[in-house]
Amino acid sequence: MRVSAHSYVEVGGRYDDPDVQGYRLVLNRDGAWKLQHYVADALSSGRIPNFNGDVWHPVKLRFFQDTVSAYVDGREIASHKAQTQSTTGRCFIGGDYKLNMFDNIKVVELKEPEVLIPSKNMTAVVPSTYSGCDASKMFDGDENTHWLSKENTPFPANVDVDLGAPYKVGKMSYKPAPSWDYPIKKYRLYSSGDGQDYTLLHTGEFNVRDFQTKFIWFAPVIARYVRLEIIEVANMKKGQAVVSELCFYGTRTGENPGAKDQITSAELARYSKLNPATFKLDVPNAKTGHPASNICDDSDTSYWITDGDASFPVNVTVDMGDVHEISVFSYTGTGGPGNVREYKLYGSMDGKTYAEVHSGKFGLDWKSRHVKIPETKARYIRFQILKVASVSEAVPTAAGEANIADLSFYTTHK
């Protein structure tokens, strides 16, 4: 959004009718803002420092179950429990009659971000601990207890959480301690498979004027370790940070988060295909004339085949060269014996820790299948072949040769 002189813009949702006008975030040219509900005045309000209405600003309202959150420039400025039971209604944008500008308008369905990861096996390494306020208090389910760092803790400071096992994690919640004036203000979130090499997931800033639970959504990623880097707290003079509860949401390695239906070639056009030129493959021995490079060569007339009977399951591991958010993969078989019939798909950030993201079955024909999977942030994809077509082609079998004509991967980003 861009805001004209002496003007304002607004974005809203859960608008049912003129008597149930839902919620709206109103943003003025000078950076003053307020989050409103139709039965109340302002749920909260404030002013964004050094706001420039002449440049574009991403503005977002997020409605998830009973929580309404407002964002400007990627930073959460307000979050509230919903004022009514209603979770439906229309979305809208608006302003006064001046020349305000809107672009890249999106309405995205928010689905349940998997399940709460059990906290009983979680541990954390923290920069320091005030007596009686150790790190375990962040995972005890009690909002009346908390972890508190010692005074004069240098920032940035890292809270490194071990989830206890690899998960496909896509959401975190943070509860400040209401009676303390050291809530986290600015932060970064990272993930790791081994606790050594970390990848940035999200950068943000919390509203420190309320003590409600804060939720962070990010592209699901396979990880065992999550790092919360505390850049700044509300009261920097004393140099202490406090966390009442940290919770994470995801699915455990080996759990199937739900197979997605295959999509048509027309639907595939909405996704962007990754260039296989940067791919590196790790596969079992290939038969002469049918190398691994045939798997991702954008051709369904050449194919890879194992050198003799394979040892099942057969792992075909693709290093994509960089981290991508994968939403769709395509498989083309050769038809006949060795054609993949049953498989699992795994993802990894580091090539060491893998988590299952999808499992499925294919028919006997050789045509390409385009399979939509839960959006997965990974650098490495492992296509695990469980069963192939038998010589008689009557039933799937875990014996004989395995072959692939083509594997392709797609992101949602055009």
What are the sequence ranges of the domains in the chain? 8-95, 115-252, 262-411
- Is 120's pLDDT higher than 70? yes
Output DSSP code: residue 101. Answer: B
Percent of the chain with pLDDT over 90: 33
Confidence tier at 259 by pLDDT (50, 70, 90): very low
Confidence tier at 111 by pLDDT (50, 70, 90): low
**Has domain 115-252 been given CATH number 3.40.190.10?**
no
- Is 85's pLDDT higher than 70? no
- Is 130's pLDDT higher than 80? yes
DSSP assignment string, 262-287:
EE-HHHHTTSEEPPGGG-EEE-SPBP
Output DSSP code: residue 384. Answer: E
Q: CA-to-CA distance for 326 and 380, rounded, in angstroms?
A: 10
Residues constituting the chain: 414
- pLDDT given at position 393: 52
Confidence tier at 65 by pLDDT (50, 70, 90): low
- Is 200's pLDDT higher than 50? yes
- Is 366's pLDDT higher than 60? no
Which of 95, 132, 144, 136 lies closest to 119, judged by CA? Answer: 136
Q: CA-to-CA distance for 293 and 315, rounded, in angstroms?
A: 15
Out of 2.60.120.260, 2.40.50.140, 3.40.50.300, 3.30.1330.60, which CATH number does the structure's domain 262-411 have? Answer: 2.60.120.260
Phi, psi of 211 (to 5 degrees): -115, 25
Which residue has better confidence, 106 or 178?
A: 106
- pLDDT given at position 399: 76
Sign of CA dihedral 144, 154, 247, 64: positive
pTM (predicted TM-score): 0.50
Q: What is the mean pLDDT of the chain?
A: 84
- Encode 89-110: b = buried (16+ Cβ within 10 Å), e = exposed: beeeeebeeeebeeeeeeeeee
- pLDDT given at position 88: 75
- pLDDT given at position 254: 46
Confidence tier at 257 by pLDDT (50, 70, 90): very low
- Is 206's pLDDT higher than 80? yes
Class of domain 8-95: mainly beta
Which residue has better confidence, 80 or 123?
A: 123
- pLDDT given at position 256: 38
| Burial label, 144 (beta-carbon count in 10 A; 0-12, 13-18, 19+) | exposed
Q: What is the pLDDT of residues 303-335, one digit of tens each?
A: 899 887 778 899 999 999 999 999 999 998 876
Which position has the token pair 């002469």? 288
Q: CA-to-CA distance for 353 and 70, rounded, in angstroms?
A: 35
Q: What is the pLDDT of residues 339-364, one digit of tens each?
A: 888 999 999 999 999 999 998 888 66
Q: What is the pLDDT of residues 86-99, one digit of tens each?
A: 677 888 898 887 78
Percent of the chain with pLDDT over 70: 88
| Burial label, 142 (beta-carbon count in 10 A; 0-12, 13-18, 19+) | exposed
Rounded to 5°, the CA angle 251-341-280 comes to: 70
Q: CA-to-CA distance for 261 and 250, rounded, in angstroms?
A: 21
- pLDDT given at position 300: 77
Q: What is the pLDDT of residues 138-197, one digit of tens each?
A: 999 888 899 999 988 899 999 999 998 888 888 899 999 876 677 899 999 999 888 888
